[in-house]
Amino acid sequence: MTFRTERDPLGELSVPADAYYGVQTARAVQNFPISGLRAPTALVVSTILIKKAAAEANRDLRRLDVSIANAIVTACDEVLAGRLRDQFVVDVYQAGAGTSHNMNANEVLANRAAELLGEPRGVYARVHPNDHVNMGQSSGDLAASLGAKAKELATVLKTGRTHLQDAVPMTFGQEMGGYAACIGRGVEDIAWAAQQLTELNVGGTAVGTGLNAGEEFRLQVVGQLRRYTELPLRPADNLFRVTQSMGDVLAYSGAMRRLAVELGKVASDLRLLSMGPRAGLSEVALPPVQPGSSIMPGKVNPSVPEMVNQVCFQVIGCDTTVMLASEAGQLELNVMMPVIAWNALHSATILTEAMTVFRTRCVDGLAADAARARELLDRSTASATALSPYLGYAVTAEIAKESVRTGRPIRDLVLERKLLDADQLDALLSVEAMTRGGFVGGPNRVR
């Protein structure tokens, strides 16, 4: 490998001759050999869009030579099209509020722009990373599927369970409808939090004063970014707030954490309900996606919900990192932005993909075993709860305990004691009626 020599305020350093990045990026690679993880694509794209908008704004404001600005814009377009992505080499764990990532982008764009203007890489006389490229800157589908499944299974009866013990009857539709509502509320929270991210810290420069940028530059850059992205982007109301605080990203990460908690609970429930096939609940059959064991032939595991659980754990862990890093910001700048950005973007990526797989390879093909669910429901004593308003809690509890001890049906024990007649019991022990709520059998209660 051949090298070129570049210089920065700290001295000279060798840089690979064919690299589009420069000396400051090379120093960052030396300083932060931590994880091998590089900036996620979303962060690279966002950074390059800002660089492009800034170059166009500075050109239009006559602060930047037209030929240099156009070369920078062309270089940006090339990166946005997928070129030079291998030149973004700084580890995600870095210091300086993302300065290293920012300079990585500046150097790549400067060298490519210089090349377009007929200059060699590593010679920044014509296009400079700081003076030119960095001018004016400073560093629900799853819910719908669950809702559809709720309608499909609306009349299939099952035993409700609390504390992992038998509880009053319900339908699979009610259970799935609850899942859909939980996921839907989580998605709504994320949508609200995402709106807060449309307020941009552009033109605040070092501490929020806007030194070396100005209001006109700020408005032009945000306008260009709005045009590029077709998002409702707007300048921050208070540049000091968005320079000091990562609160908006923290809220977004927290919303993803909430969704991960809800999603993980649904995945765990489906694993439990599918437990079997012979020695467990087996009320739900999940689509088989792969063999479950290299030693037990025919075994099929709930692989997709297991994957979802692990993704949810990771999202919760990422949020903890975002929370701690947000709190660690000091005075006028939160220097922990690199780890905040990586974890928030990582969470968004894996949560989105996991929900898609969960929907398409698990929920959409889920089936309820109505016969098995009814078998377990008929064996449960929880239906005795409907008798409590008529017989009183103590008497009903005594009958339920005797049913568990002897295995005799609740109905037989009540008739034997002549507490209610057969017609009354038919009405009161109707599990279909119990799922509709209220007092089963009418308002006349005997105490």
210 within 8 A of 239, measured Cβ to Cβ = yes
- Assess whether 293 carries a catalytic annotation: yes
Q: Look at phi and psi of residue 442 and say left if phi exceeds 0, alpha if psi is from -120 to 50, else beta.
A: left
- Output the CA–CA distances (angstroms, integers) from residue 279 to 51, 282, 287, 380, 404, in the order listed: 61, 8, 19, 17, 20
Residues 6+ apart with CB under 8 A from 332: 206, 207, 208, 240, 243, 244
The DSSP bridge pattern shows strands 367-368 and 284-285 to be: antiparallel
Q: How far apart are CA 106 and CA 132, in angstroms?
A: 9
Q: Of 139, 145, 293, 303, which one is the catalytic site residue?
A: 293
Active-site residue set: 293
